[in-house]
Amino acid sequence: MATVIPEFIDTWQMTEPGRLRRTRIPMPALGEGEALVRISGCGVCRTDLSYFYAGVPTVQKPPLTLGHEISGVVIAGDARVLGKEVIVPAVLPCRCCELCRTGRGNRCLAQKMPGNSMGIYGGFSSHIPVPAADLCIVGNRGGIPLEHLAVVADAVTTPYQAARRARLQAGDRVIVIGAAGGVGGFMTQVAKGMGAAAVIGIDINAEKLEFMKGHGADFTIDPTGKSIRDIKESFKGFCKEKGLPANHGWKIFEVTGSKAGQELALSLLSFTGTLVVVGYGTDEISFMLSRLMAFDAELIGTWGCLPEYYPEVLAMCIDGRIALEAFVETRPMSRIEQVFDEAHRGELKRRVILTPDF
């Protein structure tokens, strides 16, 4: 039985920073190589909140639909993916430029991003037209609800890209700053799932931090009320107990984007260490670059994730190396304004995935 394509897309548009409206937009004609995805779920990301509350500019000016963590089913378009359950990558490279040709397509300067630079279309909708080439076909999802897999599109793949940038290997030693956050919780799991021998989680949320001990963190530090010297002493104590070196070779992932988190990460960077900046923030900090030379250390930025890595991340979710259910919850999309408000005030305990209920 043929799928009936609706004449309109139901959507929640950001008309300007701080304002949403429920509306309908005409269903576009699909171009060559495009697919129409009926959305099953779209995760709420801090990036969405930055656009909505902080006025961080989007490439496509409002009105537009936010949302870039998307899973769903292809109901029209490219025959290769027609009828398939898919995850829509948050970053869709052009595949033509030098960056794409040299394996850095995650930072392609002509990339398309749902909810930002893909016209007015985003994930807080009933449907979305997307380029089909980079869709991640789900296949056997092992009983995981399709809507839960929406977070793979950013919250899980971004840490994986960061780990690849750090050349993370089995046996490595890892520190995650912001280890209990929406992305940091997955960064912790990715590191352990890729074989890290020791993962230290640092976060100011004591309750969530304790929870992470069962999901990849071998040791945790709550920096609340502690000086950087105190934190270093806790770190050294763990290293001494486990017979690990405290002064070289650690791979640090800074996920908070906060000034305090970044300053702590830089203070922990030592000989032959690697610091990967995953979280985004607007504060400026000072750092003596010559320390990188003296330590023979690396400071690396990371952005998004290459679509070709998605199947590897999906496999980690399905085989249990990365847990999703304990970290996400679903709510109807009609509650988007309430969810945005709760997320903005830091009241959410899990990453919320909005499911269309138009």
- Using CB atoms within 10 Å of the CB of residue 261, give its burial: 0 to 12 exposed, 13 to 18 middle, 19+ buried: buried
* 350 contacts: CB under 8 Å, gap ≥ 6: 326, 327, 328, 329
Q: Would you say residue 205 lies in a domain?
A: yes
| 139 phi-psi bin (left φ>0, alpha ψ -120 to 50, beta other) | left
The verdict on 71 and 111 lying in the same domain is yes
Same domain, 282 and 167: yes
Decide the pairing of beta strands 69-77 and 85-88. Answer: antiparallel
The secondary structure of 166-202 as a DSSP string is: TT--TT-EEEEETTTSTTHHHHHHHHHHTT-SEEEEE
Residue 256 sits in the same domain as residue 333: no
pLDDT for the residue numbered 1: 47
Domain-embedded: residue 276: yes
Does residue 51 fall inside a structural domain?
Answer: no
Q: Are residues 21 and 129 in the same domain?
A: yes
Per-residue pLDDT, 282: 86
Quick one: which H or E segment has residue 260?
Answer: helix 259-268
- State whether 234 and 120 are in the same domain: no
350 inside domain: yes
What pLDDT, on the 0 to 100 scale, is given for residue 281?
Answer: 87
Contacts of 62 (CB under 8 A, 6+ apart): 13, 14, 15, 16, 17
Residues 6+ apart with CB under 8 A from 94: 100, 105, 108, 110, 111, 112
Q: How far is CA 106 from CA 109, 149, 191, in A?
A: 9, 20, 20
- pTM exceeds 0.85: yes
B/e letters for 199-233, b = 16+ CB within 10 Å, e = fewer, are: bbbbbbbeebbebbeebbbbbbbbbeeeeeeebbe
Residue 35 forms part of a structural domain: no
Q: Are residues 129 and 164 in the same domain?
A: no
Look-up: residue for tokens 């709420």? 44
Is 169 within a domain?
A: yes
Torsions phi, psi for 54 (to 5 deg): -95, -5
Six-digit token string for 266: 């830089």
- The domain in which residue 335 lies consists of 8-27+62-137+328-355
What's the pLDDT tens digit per position in 109-125?
999 999 999 999 999 99
Query: What CATH number should be reported for the domain holding residue 19?
Result: 3.90.180.10
Q: Which contiguous run of DSSP H or E holds residue 12?
A: strand 8-16
Asked if residue 292 and residue 165 are part of one domain, the reply reads yes
Whether 129 and 167 map to the same domain: the answer is: no
Q: Report, as ranges of residue numbers, the positions in the chain whose pLDDT lies below 70.
A: 1-2
**CA 90 to CA 35: how far, in whole Å?**
15
Cβ atoms < 10 Å from Cβ of 300: 15
Output the pLDDT for position 72.
Answer: 98
- Whether residue 259 sits in one domain with residue 179: yes
Express each pLDDT in 284-299 by its tens digit: 999 999 999 999 999 9
Q: Which of 301, 319, 337 is the last residue of a domain?
A: 301
Rg (CA), the chain: 21
Give residue 2's pLDDT: 57
Is 312 contained in some domain? no
Assess contact for 118 and 101: CB atoms under 8 A.
Answer: no
Give the integer Cα–Cα distance in Å for 290 and 284. 18
Whole-number Cα distances in Å, 85 to 50, 237, 280, 299: 29, 47, 31, 38
